Amino acid sequence: MKKLLSISLLFFAVPVFAQQTIQDVNHQRNEINLTGMKILGGWALANMAVGSIAYFKTSGKNKYFHQMNVFWNVANLGLATAGYFGAKADLNQQLNLARSVHDQHKIEKILLLNAGLDVGYMATGLFLNERGKNKSSDRLKGYGNSLILQGAFLLIFDSGMYVIHNHNGNGLDKILEKVSVNFDGEQIGITYSINHKAH
């Protein structure tokens, strides 16, 4: 039991001089999220403004294209608002190494999942567009074009966010590279190398 307890304390036993680096990575992660949510919110507001005006000034598939853009970005604006205030609340949160690694992996997995969904949105848009052509449906063609556009933007957004977050998360990897665990059959020792050199 004591051995298991000692192992579980591994991520909590990082020296104090490494804590600043951990908090820097966490703070930067939240700053990235704040910026990302501003971009997403800006995109949503622009689409809603343009779409609301263009809906009444266009006809045919373009009318439905702008209509879907408005509908889609109402949801985007809600997500951006919730994400922004969530990141704002976590901005000065003090996390240990274990929680920091968990949160870093979590955001990266979410972004990769989102990127996969974005491809699905684009594929659905292509399907609706083709179906609209076959059925001579302006609604399907307009909605399809909107999904292609929105999916493409989100794919660029989520992919970019992933690359930036992954780069920031390298700071945690460097800390983990300096931590080693030694076990001699009776005792567990945790070593943190100040001058770690990559091999």
**133-154 per-position pLDDT tens digit:** 999 999 999 999 999 999 999 9
Number of structural domains the chain divides into: 1
Q: How far apart are CA 37 and CA 132, in angstroms?
A: 33
Please indicate, yes or no, if residue 198 is contained in any of the structural domains: no
Q: How many CB atoms lie within 10 A of CB 44?
A: 23
Q: Mean pLDDT throughout 74-93?
A: 94
Q: Are 105 and 27 in contact (CB under 8 A)?
A: no
Please indicate, yes or no, if residue 13 is contained in any of the structural domains: no
pLDDT at 46: 98
State how far the alpha carbon of 54 is from the alpha carbons of 60, 135, 176, 179, in Å. 12, 24, 53, 58
Q: How far apart are CA 21 and CA 132, in angstroms?
A: 54
Please indicate, yes or no, if residue 66 is contained in any of the structural domains: yes
Q: How far apart are CA 140 and CA 131, in angstroms?
A: 7
Q: How far apart are CA 124 and CA 149, in angstroms?
A: 11
Name the pLDDT band for 182 (thresholds 50, 70, 90): low
- The residue with tokens 């909605």 is 143
Please indicate, yes or no, if residue 75 is contained in any of the structural domains: yes
Kindly tell me if the per-residue pLDDT of 184 is higher than 80: no
pLDDT at 198: 46
Q: Mean pLDDT throughout 108-125?
A: 98
Token duo for residue 148: 């292609």
Q: What global pTM score does this model have?
A: 0.81
Q: How far apart are CA 71 and CA 75, in angstroms?
A: 7
Kindly tell me if the per-residue pLDDT of 177 is higher than 90: no
Please indicate, yes or no, if residue 199 is contained in any of the structural domains: no
Give me the chain's average pLDDT, please. Answer: 86
pLDDT at 114: 97
Burial of 36 from C-beta contacts in 10 A (0-12 / 13-18 / 19+): buried
Q: How far apart are CA 115 and CA 55, in angstroms?
A: 29
Please indicate, yes or no, if residue 120 is contained in any of the structural domains: yes
Name the pLDDT band for 172 (thresholds 50, 70, 90): confident
Domain extent, residue 114, equals: 2-7+18-89+97-192
Q: How far apart are CA 148 and CA 63, in angstroms?
A: 16
Q: Mean pLDDT throughout 182-190?
A: 58
Please indicate, yes or no, if residue 23 is contained in any of the structural domains: yes
Q: Are 37 and 80 in contact (CB under 8 A)?
A: yes
Is the torsion defined by CA of 130, 135, 138, 144 positive or negative?
A: negative
- The residue with tokens 């800390």 is 175
Kindly tell me if the per-residue pLDDT of 179 is higher than 70: no
Name the pLDDT band for 5 (thresholds 50, 70, 90): very low
